[in-house]
Amino acid sequence: MTVLESIGKLNNKLSKSDKTAFISAFITGLLIHMPAMLMDVPNHDGLSSMHFSQNMITSGRWFLAVACAASSFYTVPWIIGLIGILELAITALLLVRILDAENPVTIFLVSALLVSFPSLASTFAYVFTLDGYMLGLLLSVLAVYLVKKGHFIAGGISLAFSMGIYQAYLPFAMLLCIWCVWETMARGEKGCVRKALDYLYMGITGAVLYYVILMILLKVEGKVLDTYQGIDSLENSGLSHRLSAIPSMYKDFIKFTFSKGFLTGDACAIGGAVLAVITVIAAIKLMISSKVYKKLWFYWLLLLTTVLIPVSANIVLMITPDVNYHLIMRYQWVLFWIAAVAICDKSVAENCSGSKDGDSDANTNAKADADSKSQSSTDDTDHKNSGTRTISYISWLSFISAAVIFVSYAVTDNIGYTNLQRKYEKTYAYALRLLDRIEQTDGYYQGVPIAIMGVIGDDEFPSSEITAPATEEMIGLTGDYLIYTADNYEAFIKYYMGATLNFVSEEEEARIYYSDEYIEMESFPGDTSVRMIDGVICVKTEDAVRD
């Protein structure tokens, strides 16, 4: 089979819905995130990751290096971003298959919400690892899709490799599993209980396989889990410590779900409120039309779902209770909007289908006995018209509110990218002044030992950021400067200003930090903020008065 024939065969296997999902996600993703892909602006972590092997096995990410290998281990935003968007487009395709969506408008909204959610923008701030993370997200969705197709072992393997890239995408898979279980039960498929249990088996298989591979590789490399983000708790924390995190999981779920970090602005909050109400109405109509409310299992599953959704969304807090739970780790919240759009679509589709069947039956009855059914036909028509109006409202309001959310997210993403660019420019201006003062210090020579201590002082440089109301939750994109540590100074001045400075060791820096000479110094740009102490040019950038 030739290359052209293979492409044609693949094209024939892809449905119209598949192509719509892929193209929508790819084009929309490019339009929203092109600024981050075209600019070379690192955040504080990016400064130390200009070339990074991605070997983070001590953080439990044993497959991350392989996942990032295609884009090289250099930070090349365009290539990395392009690969990441392609992976997201495939993820959108799989999501549409899992949701069984066929309406092009619904498919577009699902894809647009997926690629616009602010978690992705925060991940773009850490662009050096984005393509690997997006593969992790893809594998988590693929795991659920494989179970849906009857392959829970293959799904477990896919989930294990997803967790081997980034454990934070496990909640994404868990929430999708809850959706699939609902659909399986609602359809009354043969062996529905067994099929529902397959999702549990997939999760167990994936978690066990992930942990076994992790322990083997740690042993082979002679390493142990790091304390970073509490990942060492995989080995050190007992069951009681994990269970103690359950109350905080529910509190966090409620807090974040109704926070600006999730809703990002008034328009998005209004759109979200409208979509939530419309989704409830659509769900009630689906329950009535399918009569599932008459079945006992419905109430047990409803109760179980209410309990499990917060736990599934926040399972990371149980795996690593001491984790700093930032926005990059909350991508799963986009599934609530996607599920809302899918529920509204199913309600509209089912009622439209029922309406067509009803019209056909009414026409047949009218031909058989038009006179005797005339009054009844009028009543049915009035009822039908009322139902049609309701469906029309659901269709339009769900579309408009979801579109408002999508556009709000897209705008918020680009506000974040704008601030990232400003952070770079302010940092460059600051570092240029700092470097000039260092070079003008008496006794300076190329290679002189240098100690820059403290972060940029708030007293001398008050915050000038104006995007905080929109980006305060967006880790990596908020704040004024790229500088957070002395290592950041060294990397920024070296890679973006072309000056290589001879920084002293941490031990020497600590000795100077507690000396009387340093304590008496003013904070930069004060007259005494840069001075020679025992042959070392010392720069005090922190606030003069220590907390």
Task: Indicate whether 366 pLDDT > 50.
Answer: no
Residue 362 banded pLDDT, cuts 50, 70, 90: very low
Residue 6 maps to a domain? no
Say if residue 468 is in the same domain as residue 409: no
Residues whose CB falls within 8 Å of the CB of residue 179, separated by 6 or more in sequence, listed in order: 98, 99, 335, 339
Task: Specify the pLDDT at position 387.
Answer: 61
If asked whether residues 412 and 451 sit together in one domain, one would say no
The arithmetic mean of pLDDT across residues 45-56, rounded, is 83
**Residue 77 · residue 33 · CB < 8 Å:** no
Clarify whether residues 83 and 108 are in a common domain.
yes
Least confident segment among 92-96, 269-273, 351-355, 514-518: 351-355
319: pLDDT confidence band, cut at 50, 70 and 90? confident
What is the DSSP annotation of 303-334? HHHHHHHHHHHTHHHHHSTT----GGGGGGGH
In the chain, what percentage of residues exceed pLDDT 70?
A: 90
Beta bridge partners of 190: none
Q: Are residues 184 and 332 in the same domain?
A: yes
Which residue, of 380, 395, 416, is where some domain finishes?
Answer: 416
Which of 392, 416, 440 delimits the end of a domain? 416
Count of structural domains within the chain: 2
Residues 398, 496 within the same domain: no
3 within a domain of the structure (yes/no):
no
Q: With pLDDT > 90 as the criterion, what percentage of the chain qualifies?
A: 56
424 and 402, same structural domain?
A: no
In this structure, the answer to whether residues 395 and 423 fall within a common structural domain is no
Q: Are residues 200 and 210 in the same domain?
A: yes
pLDDT of 234 above 80: no
Label residue 364 by pLDDT band (50, 70, 90). very low
Phi, psi of 255 (to 5 degrees): -60, -50
Single out the residue in 398, 416, 434 at which a domain terminates. Answer: 416
Sign of CA dihedral 147, 153, 158, 161: positive
Structural domain boundaries, residue 54: 15-416
Based on the fold, state whether residues 443 and 299 are members of the same structural domain.
Answer: no
Q: Establish if 295 belongs to a structural domain.
A: yes
Based on the fold, state whether residues 411 and 422 are members of the same structural domain: no
Residue type (1 letter), 91: T
User: 491 and 430 in contact (C-beta within 8 Å)?
Assistant: no
**Hunting for tokens 């020579």 — which residue is that?**
445
Distance of alpha carbon 428 from alpha carbon 324, whole angstroms: 29
Whether residue 140 sits in one domain with residue 75: yes
Residue 5 lies in a domain: no
In a domain, 4, yes or no: no
147-174 residue pLDDT tens = 999 899 999 999 999 999 999 999 999 9
User: For 2-49, what is each residue's pLDDT tens digit?
Assistant: 888 888 888 888 999 999 999 999 999 999 999 999 988 888 888 888
Residue 424 lies in a domain: yes
404 and 434 part of one domain: no
